Amino acid sequence: MSAVTESVLESIISPVTMSEFLEEYWPVKPLVARGEVERFTSIPGFEKVRTLENVLAIYNNPVMVVGDAVIEESEGITDRFLVSPAEALEWYEKGAALEFDFTDLFIPQVRRWIEKLKAELRLPAGTSSKAIVYAAKNGGGFKAHFDAYTNLIFQIQGEKTWKLAKNENVSNPMQHYDLSEAPYYPDDLQSYWKGDPPKEDLPDAEIVNLTPGTMLYLPRGLWHSTKSDQATLALNITFGQPAWLDLMLAALRKKLISDNRFRELAVNHQSLHESSKSELNGYLESLIQTLSENAETLTPEQIFQSQDSDFDPYQSTQLVFRQLLTSYKF
């Protein structure tokens, strides 16, 4: 495999090279790269997230506050909600963790770097990506869960303790899951879930202490939790993880959408009389046959041509929501 041109990420994970990272770690094995925090200055726009004050000065969007302080305020209804940037510092002092989602909206240099990094990581062009800044104080953190995204975490201030545990229940998950939800599992996740979940404190986890200047590559699906008893600040670069299923479905949709029958309005099968149900079943069988024929003629080239599709409508919607809110003053 040909080597990848040296990059900002490569300079941070050194002595691991970008080629070694792609071959030995990406996309399933975590990597901890330690060094001085000054090396993060190679990240474009880093000076705008160097301190919590820097972040609050540029972030013109609602801030997610998370943790026990929120649970207490809401009388147990929720552990998180959105507040204005003006209120965020007050919640921070109460012990809530702050999440500045889509921080890259306010730092064009970071946005451009993320797009370049997406290409270096060989991700499809339509992959969702963003920067998130996390700030926590007085024991703030997140309980055990796994993500459907992958993260590059750059610890800027303070020390944060991470628990990392191999996921024996699912591989390549396509949705986020909080361990506190067990034994409830969403239908899609249930279809490929195996065994019993781990205990909530992840007793068999590896303990990783992130100190200023440490970078953690966190693959999707890895069980993890975080905790800090001091003020911490970290920059997360988050990438979606489009599966071959996503690309194939997008390519198949492009083939089928030209057929008017597939664009017809669907009906509620339960609302029909038996004779109509039988007639509809026959009609759907003909559509299934057409679908099968199109799937059989699907080519790798057609699949590759779908790489710029929108694989994450939720994140796309969130981005539009955040963009609209940037015009408001708090």
Annotated binding residue at 224? yes
For the chain, residues with pLDDT lower than 70 are: 1-6, 139-140, 327-330
Helix H or strand E encompassing 117: helix 108-120
Q: What are phi and psi of 165, to 5 degrees?
A: -135, 135
* Three-state SS at 47: helix
Q: Write the secondary structure of 248-307 as one string of H (helix), E (strand) and C (coil).
A: HHHHHHHHHCCCHHHHCCCCCHHHCCHHHHHHHHHHHHHHHHHHHHHHHCCCHHHHHCCC
* Three-state SS at 197: coil
pLDDT of residue 142: 82
CA distance 269 to 281: 9
CA distance 187 to 134: 31
pLDDT tens, residue by residue, 205-259: 999 999 999 999 999 999 999 988 889 999 999 999 999 999 999 999 999 999 9
pLDDT of residue 83: 95
pLDDT of residue 139: 62
pLDDT of residue 204: 95
pLDDT of residue 4: 42
pLDDT of residue 67: 83
Annotated binding residue at 147? yes
CA distance 233 to 229: 12
Annotated binding residue at 176? no
Inter-residue contact 210 to 160 (CB < 8 Å): yes
Q: Characterise 99 by phi-psi region: left (phi > 0), alpha (psi -120 to 50), beta (else).
A: beta
Q: What's the DSSP call for residue 48?
A: G
pLDDT of residue 79: 86
Domain residue ranges of the chain, discontinuous segments joined by +: 6-60+100-241, 244-305
pLDDT of residue 327: 56
Q: Which residues contact residue 23 at a Cβ distance below 8 angstroms, ignoring those fewer than 6 apart?
A: 1
What is the CA angle 17-23-28, rounded to 5? 110
Q: Residue 267, class by beta-carbon neighbours within 10 Å (0-12 exposed, 13-18 middle, 19+ buried)?
A: exposed
Q: Which fold has domain 6-60+100-241?
A: Jelly Rolls (2.60.120)
